[in-house]
Chain A
Amino acid sequence: MTAQVKRAEGGPVLEVADLSVAVRTIDGELPIVTGVSFRVEAGQMLAIVGESGCGKSVLTRAIVGLLPREQWIVRGSARLDGVELVGQGPRAMRRVWGRDIGVVFQDSLTALNPVRTIGAQLTESIRRFREVNRATATEIARGALSSVGITDPAARLRAYPHQMSGGMRQRVCIAIALLGEPSLLIADEPTTGLDVTVQEQILDLLAARCQDENMASILVTHDLAVAATRADEVVVLYAGEVVESVASESLMSARMPYSRSLLAALPRLDDAIHSRLAAVPGQAPLPAEVGPGCRFVQRCPIRVDDCATHHPSFHADDGAGHGVRCWRTAEAATTAVQEQP
């Protein structure tokens, strides 16, 4: 079976259902991501937010089929325009990469081949998708660079990656990801490591291109503020599972204590200088340390005994699609996150 993808009218571009990822170790399977479900519609941007080690990159790599099968086990379903991606081999996925899903990674220096010019790398991708001669491919490449806001594209085609700034290289990566006119763009920490003014430019560019092409997109980020200001929907991941899913304009009224701690720990421009931040103690459990109850339990300011023994299910009951994984959401909504000693 090949993953020939045809856009189904009206449905979500990507529908992820109960997706779990585990890594094989000498002690057996170690779950990294458990039971993740979400959907992304055309023209919508979904942000997946979490701290390092929460499984956000593993999750997106599992969807795109970039995890080697020898080491990783992916279960559940990820349907792109109705076609199942989980279980597809590399040969089938090769037809999906670039054409149906475009991917932009954090590190543009390693994403690009250091010994080939930008032009060579662009035209290679173009000729993978279209039967065009070299001159036409160069013409398309020039247009692709202009479309991501690169000035003097003709000169840039002759440049090597190291001759460009990080922001410029990330623009090139975006241009390459968009060459095949994918229906889904996945950007994994696309602006981490870039300066704040360059970050703003790159995020503007991503938003504009996704809007122009009515593309579905997933923005993976550790930065809550980036997610809130850019995405339509925010999915918060903690220790490998979704703990909250909320429209970005409602993020400030997040109910899961973890999401609330994240919000409270962000330095804001109206805080008093030298004031202390509301910091929850400890750190997220490692995959091997996950207990039977809520995964945030050791750090949670409003935990009760049952939280350590009973795993809360993910429930969306407010009618607005705001989903939370917590036993004590009623209490969470009214309790401020207190600073811990």
Chain B
Amino acid sequence: MSAREAIDTVQTTPHDQVRPALRVERLDVEFDVDGGKLRAVSDVSLEVAENETLGIVGESGCGKSTLARAILQAPPPTAGSVWFDDQDLTTLKGEDLRQVRPRLQLLLQDPTSSLNPRQTVWHSVAAPLRVWKRGTRAEQDARVAEVLKQVGIDPERAKHSRPAEYSGGQCQRICLARALALRPDVLVCDEVVSALDVLIQAQILNLLEDIRDLYGLTMVFIGHDLAVVRRVSDRVAIMYLGRLCEIGPTQMVFDHPAHPYTRRLLDSIPLVESATETRTSAAPTGEPPSPLNPPSGCRFRTLCPKARDHCAVETPELRQTGDGQWVACHYPNVPVTAARP
């Protein structure tokens, strides 16, 4: 069996959740850059079940945001498919694609630049309802007021206030209200709390959980802060230089990280409660390789403490190490329970 056939049979959802809301298959995203092609996302397959939050963690340049945008077809991937509601989004064009878009919404890191500074907050939140002509004017206004209340923004004030009159945390609430206005099925959050202070971050994370329960949302939560992503995610995917390293149930991945890169990420997190411990091991040195010229074989091998000659030759495929936990490593920290089917 070839590697290509093998990966098609890999199931990266937990068995008890039957219907995936989103299924990403063998996704590639390439960009033209000076001196060749940058493959930002390479051969990524994953599924997100209904009402599930999938966290995607990785460092800058690992392709996590590119992957999220490719799922939303903004821009579409170079290769691969994205299945949503029995349709492959990558095959949809024009009006067909437009009709799907309201059901998939995106929330970004910088809320102030996501809002039109010259329009009232009310106007911005109402815009999706107006564009899609959902209900009468009165129904639209009622919906705007409702959704603003749900995110903790005073609707009366929103009628005559512009984004500059709100703080960063409040602007993120407003962006969330706008994303929810059309009652989407899927919400993709890209580093939505990264620019916020810790107390505001806690408020927004709690709000996202409440909103997820209220709307029964399927979420993709992208972040670089492992403790934050862990908190909100049912499953997590770890990315490195455009590839999936590891994917599995959150608790399992954090308790028994199978990939050396996941281990490395976990070891790098500073923890308040460990302030009294003397730091024993210094961080491994070495610069991360450029995504323009990724290492052959396993992309993490240049910084991997476990790397052997074989890692430079063969790219590791995802293999199962636990119930629903998959790792792309030749020498994982957790024994492989099942090879590829």
Complex contact B272–A228 (CB within 8 A): yes
A51 at the interface (CB under 8 A from B): yes
B3 at the interface (CB under 8 A from A): no
Main secondary structure of the interface of B (DSSP, over half): helix
Complex contact A51–B268 (CB within 8 A): no
- State A280–B202 Cα separation when bound (angstroms): 8
A170 at the interface (CB under 8 A from B): no
Contact residues in B for A151 (Cβ distance below 8 Å):
287
Q: A222-B198, A268-B227, A271-B231 are in contact. Are A276 and B206 (CB under 8 A)?
A: yes
Complex contact A197–B199 (CB within 8 A): no
Contact residues in B for A265 (Cβ distance below 8 Å):
198-199, 201-202
Shortest A70–chain B CB gap in Å is 26
Closest A residue to B251 using CB positions: A273
A52 at the interface (CB under 8 A from B): yes
Contact residues in A for B273 (Cβ distance below 8 Å):
252, 268
Complex contact A249–B276 (CB within 8 A): yes
Complex contact B288–A165 (CB within 8 A): yes
Partner of A228, one of B230, B250, B264, B270: B270
Partner of B203, one of A197, A226, A273, A279: A279
Contact residues in B for A168 (Cβ distance below 8 Å):
287
Can you list, as one digit per residue, whether each of A259-288 has a CB less than 8 Å from chain B (1) or not (0)? 001110111110101111111110100000
Complex contact B198–A197 (CB within 8 A): no
Q: Which of A11-19, A25-33, A60-68, A198-206 touches B? A: A198-206
Complex contact B227–A269 (CB within 8 A): yes
Contact residues in A for B211 (Cβ distance below 8 Å):
none
B93 at the interface (CB under 8 A from A): no
Complex contact A165–B275 (CB within 8 A): no
B38 at the interface (CB under 8 A from A): no
Shortest B151–chain A CB gap in Å is 14
Complex contact A266–B269 (CB within 8 A): no
A209 at the interface (CB under 8 A from B): no
Contact residues in A for B304 (Cβ distance below 8 Å):
none
Complex contact B202–A277 (CB within 8 A): yes
B234 at the interface (CB under 8 A from A): yes
Contact residues in A for B267 (Cβ distance below 8 Å):
200
Closest A residue to B234 using CB positions: A273
Complex contact A267–B59 (CB within 8 A): no
**Residue among A199, A204, A274 having the largest count of chain B Cβ atoms under 10 Å:** A274
- State A149–B283 Cα separation when bound (angstroms): 12
Shortest B181–chain A CB gap in Å is 24
Q: What total of A-B pairs shows CB separation below 8 Å?
A: 133
Closest A residue to B206 using CB positions: A276
Shortest B269–chain A CB gap in Å is 6
- State A90–B44 Cα separation when bound (angstroms): 56
Complex contact B275–A252 (CB within 8 A): yes
B74 at the interface (CB under 8 A from A): no
> Which residues from 241 to 272 on chain B have a C-beta closer than 8 Å to any C-beta of chain A?
250-251, 254, 264-272
B337 at the interface (CB under 8 A from A): no
B77 at the interface (CB under 8 A from A): no
Q: A274-B209, A283-B169 are in contact. Are A225 and B231 (CB under 8 A)?
A: no
Q: A168-B287, A229-B275, A262-B198 are in contact. Are A200 and B268 (CB under 8 A)?
A: yes
Contact residues in A for B264 (Cβ distance below 8 Å):
197
Shortest A10–chain B CB gap in Å is 26
- State A149–B285 Cα separation when bound (angstroms): 8
A124 at the interface (CB under 8 A from B): no
Complex contact B198–A266 (CB within 8 A): yes
Partner of A195, one of B203, B224, B232: B224
- State A262–B279 Cα separation when bound (angstroms): 23
Complex contact B283–A267 (CB within 8 A): no
Residues of B within 8 A of A (CB): 59-60, 167, 169, 197-203, 205-206, 209, 224-228, 230-234, 250-251, 254, 264-276, 279, 282-283, 285, 287-288
The 4 closest A-B pairs by CB, nearest first: A279-B202, A195-B59, A265-B202, A228-B275
Residues of A within 8 A of B (CB): 51-52, 149, 151, 165-168, 195-201, 203-204, 222-226, 228-230, 248-249, 251-252, 261-263, 265-269, 271, 273-281, 283, 339
23 pairs across A/B with beta carbons < 8 Å? A51-B197, A51-B198, A151-B287, A197-B288, A200-B267, A204-B283, A222-B197, A225-B270, A229-B271, A229-B275, A229-B279, A248-B275, A251-B272, A251-B275, A265-B202, A267-B205, A267-B231, A274-B231, A274-B234, A275-B231, A277-B202, A277-B231, A279-B205
Given contacts A225-B271, A273-B231, 17 further A-B contacts (CB under 8 A): A196-B59, A197-B268, A197-B283, A200-B267, A201-B285, A203-B270, A225-B272, A265-B199, A266-B198, A267-B228, A268-B271, A269-B227, A269-B269, A273-B234, A277-B202, A277-B205, A279-B206
